[in-house]
């Protein structure tokens, strides 16, 4: 049974009072809080077993190398990848997407080719492709979504020409909560010979991901959103593609042989992990993913579906509350506007009530403007969010309305 109140005891920061009030943390889409399992594991490694990985010929190095590579296997199983070689550790999902842009797209795209993205993309899945197109003479195509944030299959199909060589889409919008049918998107893209990259930063938190079932070519997500530390991300890539790609960065630990005249490179994933890696962070990520798996991704998803339904119900009590992205079946991300209250003013009052939300364009400025706004407020859920958190949010919004009346 999924006991959210028991789960909350695993997160020390949620016991902390904010402005003298209970901590209502509704900013998990930006970065999730960390359970004791992750905090304790990372502290223990730093205190008792830290050393550099690989090549060390002493016990500390051997042991931590084993833990580091076990973390890679945990990620492999989390994504159901065929091989641990398909799992590349990066600093974050942004670096993972840039890796594909520079090591695959720059090498394989030509003038006249097209890259296709949706209107709902985060800057990290937009700007790298703008740069590729500028440098390679390609065209960036953007397929439309609905005014309610819905994925429109006919708009995607209409935009999927034979010129498209890469489809790069989010699995779940960080602004709208829209869940994209990435398996269907991948199948249609592959029919015309395009490769597929999935930005799974939000989806990895809320639903089970199976890269073999999706049949994507690349997939990226960040550790800090999946209840792990910052400074660690993941790129999944099909092994045959990774083997065909040159290094993204060069230096130590990504080489096979080096002379003054030439260098040969290691096999993936080492080829893409130049320098000393984020050792403790990778181990922390592995611990976080195991924590999620122990709770059950299906259970987390069901809990979130209940919260989404409850949020819609409770927000009906708020006068002049406008949902930005109003699909009934979506992830736990709610962007909104309340009357004429500026999001910054609203967030300030909510913050004084211990309610943490985020404002701005959420690193998706073109999307926010397409929805008709310059800045929006956003509340987002984690596996520890309760209905009481939503009640506190609604009460705080009502207080803000009175304040700005």
Q: Which residues are catalytic?
A: 363
Q: Per the structure block, which two tokens stand in for 135?
A: 């440098």
- The rounded distance, in Å, linking the Cα atoms of 369 and 13 is 34
- Enumerate residues 6+ apart whose C-beta is below 8 A from 362: 29, 30, 122, 174, 175, 335, 368, 376, 378
- The SS3 assignment for 141 reads strand
Strand, coil or helix: what is 174? coil
Tally DSSP H helices, then E strands, for the chain: 16, 15
DSSP string, 102-132: IIIIHHH--TT-EEEEETT--GGGTHHHHHH
Distance CA 140, CA 156 (A): 14
Quote the CA–CA distance of 405 and 402 in Å, as a whole number: 5
Neighbours of 123 (CB within 10 A): 16
Of the candidates 324, 320, 304, the one whose C-alpha atom is nearest the C-alpha of residue 372 is 324
């Amino acid at each position: 049974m999924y006991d959210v109140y028991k789960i909350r005891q695993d997160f020390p920061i949620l016991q902390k009072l904010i402005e003298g009030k209970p901590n209502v943390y509704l900013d998990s889409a930006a970065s999730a809080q960390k359970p004791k399992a992750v905090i304790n594991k990372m502290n223990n490694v730093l205190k008792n077993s830290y050393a550099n990985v690989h090549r060390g010929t002493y016990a500390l190095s051997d042991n931590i190398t084993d833990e580091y590579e076990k973390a890679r296997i945990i990620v492999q199983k989390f994504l159901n990848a065929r091989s641990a070689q398909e799992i590349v550790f990066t600093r974050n999902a942004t670096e993972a997407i840039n890796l594909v842009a520079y090591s695959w797209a720059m090498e394989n795209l030509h003038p006249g080719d097209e890259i296709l993205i949706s209107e709902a993309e985060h800057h990290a899945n937009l700007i790298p492709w703008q740069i590729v197109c500028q440098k390679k003479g390609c065209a960036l195509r953007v397929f439309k979504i609905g005014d309610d944030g819905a994925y429109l299959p006919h708009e995607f199909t209409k935009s999927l020409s034979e010129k498209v060589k890469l489809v790069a889409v989010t699995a779940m919008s960080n602004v709208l909560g829209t869940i994209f049918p990435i398996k269907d998107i991948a199948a249609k893209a592959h029919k015309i010979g395009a490769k597929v990259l999935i930005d799974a930063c939000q989806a990895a938190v809320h639903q089970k991901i199976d890269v073999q079932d999706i049949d994507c070519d690349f997939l990226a997500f960040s550790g800090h959103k999946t209840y792990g530390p910052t400074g660690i991300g993941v790129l999944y890539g099909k092994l045959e593609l990774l083997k065909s790609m040159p290094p993204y960065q060069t230096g130590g630990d990504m080489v096979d042989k080096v002379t003054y005249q030439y260098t040969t490179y290691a096999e993936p994933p080492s080829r893409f992990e130049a320098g000393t890696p984020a050792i403790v962070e990778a181990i922390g990520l592995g611990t976080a993913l195991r924590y999620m798996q122990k709770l059950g991704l299906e259970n987390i998803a069901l809990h979130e579906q209940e919260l989404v339904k409850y949020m819609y119900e409770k927000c009906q009590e708020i006068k002049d509350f406008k949902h930005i992205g109003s699909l009934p079946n979506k992830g736990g991300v709610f962007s909104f506007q309340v009357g004429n209250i500026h999001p910054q003013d609203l967030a300030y009052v909510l913050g004084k009530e211990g309610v943490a939300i985020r404002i701005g364009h959420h690193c998706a400025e073109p999307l926010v403007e397409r929805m008709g706004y310059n800045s929006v407020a956003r509340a987002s859920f984690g596996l520890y969010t309760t209905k009481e958190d939503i009640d506190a949010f609604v009460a705080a919004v009502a207080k803000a309305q009175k304040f700005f009346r």
